[in-house]
Amino acid sequence: MVALVVLAALATASVTMGSKPLSAHTVGEALFRFDPSDTEHLVIRSLRLPRTVVGLLAGAALGLAGAVMQGIARNALADPGVLGVNSGAALFVVAGINFFGVTSLSGYVWFGMAGAAVAAAVVYAVGSMGASGATPLKLVLAGTATTAVLTSATQAVLLLNVSAFDQFRFWQVGSLAGRDEAVAWQGAPFVLAGAVLALSLGRSLNLLALGDDTARALGQHVVRVRLAAALAVVLLCGTATAMAGPIGFVGLAVPHVARMLTGADHRWLLPYSMVLAPVLVLLADLVGRLVIRPTEVQVGIVTAAIGAPVLIAMVRSRKGAAL
């Protein structure tokens, strides 16, 4: 509940604050009595509102995806970045820019999703080969290896094409700037589908946490749960990455914070992650907008700058010992 209130407050702040502060009254007017000739209204409707909505959607998607991944991999280190999903999305976006001349965000969405799906499939396939199936460590190793391969391929393309690199370096840091309403509308259904699927997995993930054999004995279809989770992760990560670029660290850090609040029960952990993650994203976006006005620091840079010390502090804390 508290988290929801904080989130609502932040969303309001995200709309009212910026390089030009506006009053809450103006915001209300812009929403309900829109006047196209008023610049302040225009700023709100065409810049800040879409930006906030995209932040909400992308944040929720990344937080949920991270929580699901950590549940499936039974591994505190799992997140879209570590398991290679982001690097798959990035490579496909670069390929889209380079070989198909894609320049619009709506074009990135499809490439991002395809890349996320391919990377997730490869990592899972490799991680579950061999004797003992998909052990947590093998998944992380497979993710690390796949990330390295895909990142190298991405770098190769970027080094061969300066203009693609120029476009990509701004997409790569993750940003909510210049996202219009269309992006939010295009992404929303995918995020919604992924979220519904992910939230329905709470109980199954609790059982999986007991180990595959125990879960099977209690009547879980382990493989089916993993596939559903993978689908949810691809939907969420691919869309979030395409909407806002690869915002690092949200999927890794937020579930840990949520776990400190809720304990290990996924039925609570998943919704909490979904609410806490946009808090982090919007906060980071606000900080980035206010720190060096009138220019801004991209949100992905700020999330890492805020999230990394938090993660390190948690690893050092007594609670962290149980991660």
Partner 1 sequence: MTVRTRSVRGAVRRRRARPVVVVLALAVLLTAVTLLAVGDFVVPLSEVIGAISGEAEWKSRLFVLDIRLPRVLTGLLAGLGFGMSGAIFQSLVRNPLASPDVIGITSGAGAAAATCIVALGLGGMAVSAGALAGALVTAVAIYLLSWRGGLSGRRLVLVGIGATALLSSLVSYLMTSAAVWDAQQVLIWLTGSLSGRTWTHATTLACCLVPLVLAAAVLARPLNVLCLGDDLARGLGLRVERSRLALLLTGVALAATATAAAGPVAFVALVSAPVARRLVRDGGPALAASALVGALVTLVSDFVAQHAFTPVELPVGVVTGVVGGPYLLVLLVTANRAGTSASRRGSRLLR
Which positions touch partner 1 (CB under 8 A)?
74-77, 82, 126-127, 129-132, 135-138, 140-142, 144-146, 148-149, 151-153, 155-156, 158-160, 162, 165-166, 169-170, 172-173, 248-249, 252, 297-298, 300-305, 307-309, 311-312, 315-316, 320, 323
Q: Residue 104 or 132: which CB sits closer to partner 1? A: 132
d(CA 302, CA 43): 23
Ramachandran category for residue 219: left, alpha or beta (phi over 0 → left; psi -120 to 50 → alpha)? left
Three-state DSSP state, 94: helix
d(CA 196, CA 187): 14
Dihedral of CA atoms 182, 166, 112, 243 in degrees, nearest 10, equals -30
Instruction: Kindly state the smallest distance separating residue 30's Cβ from partner 1, in Å.
Output: 30
d(CA 257, CA 311): 9
Q: Residue 23 or 152: which CB sits closer to partner 1? A: 152
Instruction: Kindly state the smallest distance separating residue 232's Cβ from partner 1, in Å.
Output: 23
Instruction: Kindly state the smallest distance separating residue 165's Cβ from partner 1, in Å.
Output: 6
Q: Residue 27 or 252: which CB sits closer to partner 1? A: 252
Neighbours of 144 (CB within 10 A): 15
Contact between 219 and 204 (Cβ < 8 Å): no
Ramachandran category for residue 38: left, alpha or beta (phi over 0 → left; psi -120 to 50 → alpha)? beta
Longest dimension (CA), the chain: 67
Two tokens at 93? 């976006």
Q: Residue 26 or 151: which CB sits closer to partner 1? A: 151
Q: How far is CA 297 from CA 40, 286, 289, in A?
A: 23, 10, 6
Hey, what amino acid is at 188? Answer: A
Instruction: Kindly state the smallest distance separating residue 184's Cβ from partner 1, in Å.
Output: 23
Q: Residue 193 or 209: which CB sits closer to partner 1? A: 209
Q: Residue 42 or 209: which CB sits closer to partner 1? A: 209
Instruction: Kindly state the smallest distance separating residue 160's Cβ from partner 1, in Å.
Output: 6
Q: Residue 26 or 135: which CB sits closer to partner 1? A: 135
Instruction: Kindly state the smallest distance separating residue 101's Cβ from partner 1, in Å.
Output: 19
Instruction: Kindly state the smallest distance separating residue 238's Cβ from partner 1, in Å.
Output: 21
Burial (CB count within 10 angstroms: exposed 0-12, middle 13-18, buried 19+), residue 73: buried
